[in-house]
């Protein structure tokens, strides 16, 4: 596909970063367990660029629920089927250019073009 990794960072995310990341879901019952899971270990953050990269990375990630994700997708092949499947689905992928810009600013402090 010709995608390019612009930035890669491995870090531990604190609850304030994760709450800001998932702000659009504030108050929903899954947010607390999701933040706890995300804060429980290291997070690999990537900035990927390329033609139609958002839909391409989302297709590579697979369906949100790993039990329905296609074989060959990240979630279909690598996510654990633990019963907490949607919360512990192994990967997040931005859904729009706007959310991508917001998430890059949160996780990377913005990047110089």
For the cut 80, the answer to whether the pLDDT of residue 83 exceeds it is: no
Q: With 0.85 as the threshold, say if the pTM is over it.
A: yes
Reported as a single tens digit per residue, the pLDDT across 3-20 is 999 999 999 999 999 999
Q: Six-digit token pair at 32?
A: 């607390």
Q: Active-site residue numbers?
A: 92
Structural domain of 22? 4-108
> Is residue 8 situated within a structural domain?
yes
In this prediction, residue 29 carries a pLDDT of 93
CATH of residue 35: 3.30.70.141
Residues counted in the chain: 113
Counted domains in the chain:
1
Is residue 113 in a domain? no
Task: Look at residues 93, 94, 86, 89 and name the one whose alpha carbon lies nearest to residue 77.
Answer: 89
């Amino acid at each position: 596909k010709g995608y390019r990794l612009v930035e890669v960072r491995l870090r531990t995310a604190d609850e304030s970063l994760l709450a800001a990341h998932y702000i659009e879901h504030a108050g929903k019952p899954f947010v607390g367990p999701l933040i706890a899971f995300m804060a429980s270990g290291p997070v690999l953050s990537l900035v990927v660029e390329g033609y139609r990269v958002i839909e391409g990375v989302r297709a590579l990630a697979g369906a949100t629920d790993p039990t329905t994700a296609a074989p060959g997708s990240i979630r279909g092949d690598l996510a654990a089927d633990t019963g907490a499947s949607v919360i512990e689905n192994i990967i997040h992928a931005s859904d729009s250019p706007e959310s991508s810009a917001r998430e890059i600013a949160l996780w990377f402090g913005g990047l110089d073009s």
